[in-house]
Amino acid sequence: MFLTFERIKELAKSRGITLGALEEKLGLSRNSIYTIKNKKPSAERLQLIADYFNVSTDYLLGRTDNPNIAKDDETIAGYTQDDLRKMAENAKTFDGKPLTEDDINAIQNIIEIYLRGRK
């Protein structure tokens, strides 16, 4: 849990507030954030902190280095729909002929399905 504490500490520093001030703003008891160094925080407490900083709980837990909150509409495994489109457009046919619009859409769907299934 030390990484979680360090990430919270860095986020607070980047906002120019102390951990004590953060605890006060969130309605947490004094030194409750410091206990995260050695003890798992509750899901509710972790979500409260993540919401305050507008980061994902996965980022706070160290499961990803990307602090952004994933949104189903915007990204799939970190890729936007534009990224998926570019991947599909760069695919090549076996005989070197240009891809049709239907081919590109099908390839984009295949890439999206693959990425959604990968966890």
* 9: CATH: 1.10.260.40
Say yes or no: 29 and 79 in one domain.
no
- Print the domain residue range for 93: 75-117
Asked if the model's pLDDT at residue 93 lies above 90, the reply is: no
What is the pTM (predicted TM-score) of this model?
0.59
Say yes or no: 45 and 95 in one domain.
no
71 confidence band (pLDDT: 50, 70, 90) = low
What's the angle, vertex CA 105, arms to CA 103 and CA 111, rounded to 5?
100
Say yes or no: 84 and 110 in one domain.
yes
35 confidence band (pLDDT: 50, 70, 90) = very high
Q: Residue 12 CB: number of other CB atoms within 10 A?
A: 20
Mean pLDDT, residues 87-115: 84
| Contact yes or no for 23/30 (Cβ under 8 A) | yes
pLDDT of residue 102: 85
Top pLDDT among 109 and 119 is at 109
Domain count within the chain: 2
21 confidence band (pLDDT: 50, 70, 90) = very high
